[in-house]
Chains A and B, each alone.
Chain A
Amino acid sequence: GESVGLHLPTLSVQEGDNSIINCAYSNSASDYFIWYKQESGKGPQFIIDIRSNMDKRQGQRVTVLLNKTVKHLSLQIAATQPGDSAVYFCAENSSGYSTLTFGKGTMLLVSP
């Protein structure tokens, strides 16, 4: 299930389940979005990106969905594995500069 802790929302799933991590963004001018995975003691690792002219993009075991109408982004992970346990951040770009604004993050916990 999903719970909101003091600082970081947490999603707990069983190994083999599909996971869906959500992100709401506020800037309707944002036109580029990235999902990052950050494991403990590591830097953010690029997972997948999507531009605003698309509403879906698939990678290996991951799918990103973009709903511009409600300013919502989601990351779907198929057949979640214990190695997927990490904090996941969405990030958006809305300026002419290649700078990113990060969302608050969601911790994904995968139980064997």
Chain B
Amino acid sequence: DTEVTQTPKHLVMGMTNKKSLKCEQHMGHRAMYWYKQKAKKPPELMFVYSYEKLSINESVPSRFSPECPNSSLLNLHLHALQPEDSALYLCASSQRGVTGGDQPQHFGDGTRLSIL
């Protein structure tokens, strides 16, 4: 079992809906990440939070809005998504902040998102 928990596991939403993805870790990690992964492709970085502050935004459209309420939680708010946004959304965490040098990231099992 992964120590990074993501909910829900599956989500189907229409293009006008508003929904949120949630990620939680209790390892005391200080950096948290959102990735998007299309089928048979590698994960692509979207956002990085370090010590609860947004450090990196990889030019992600504003219909994706991240939030880090505290050091253990990471949300991704979704609004007015497009069919091409259907993908697996992965959350990851790493022990030190994002400027903490070489360190592995630990992934959750993702939310499978389908946009109708």
Contact = CB atoms under 8 A, between A and B. Distances in A.
Interface of A: 7-8, 31-32, 34, 36, 41-46, 49, 51, 87, 89, 93, 96-100, 102-105
Given A44-B43, A89-B42, A100 B105 contact: yes
A43 B109 CA distance: 4
5 contacts: A32-B101, A96-B99, A98-B94, A102-B43, A105-B42
A55 to B, nearest CB: 16
Contacts of A104: 41-42
A7 to B, nearest CB: 4
Contacts of A43: 2, 4, 6, 90, 92, 107-110
Contact of A31 (B99, B100, B102, B108): B102
B48 A97 contact: yes
Interface in B84-110: 90, 92, 94, 96-110
Main SS at interface, chain A: loop
Contacts of B26: none
Contacts of A89: 42-43
B45 A34 contact: no
Contact of A98 (B101, B109, B110): B101
Interface centre among B42, B48, B106, by most chain A C-beta atoms within 10 angstroms, is B42
Contacts of B42: 89, 102-105
A89 to B, nearest CB: 6
B46 to A, nearest CB: 11
Contacts of B33: 99
Contacts of B106: 46
Contacts of B97: 98
A97 B98 contact: yes
A89 B37 CA distance: 13
B7 interface: no
* 10 closest residue pairs by CB, A with B: A102-B42, A43-B107, A32-B102, A7-B40, A43-B109, A44-B107, A8-B40, A46-B104, A97-B98, A42-B109
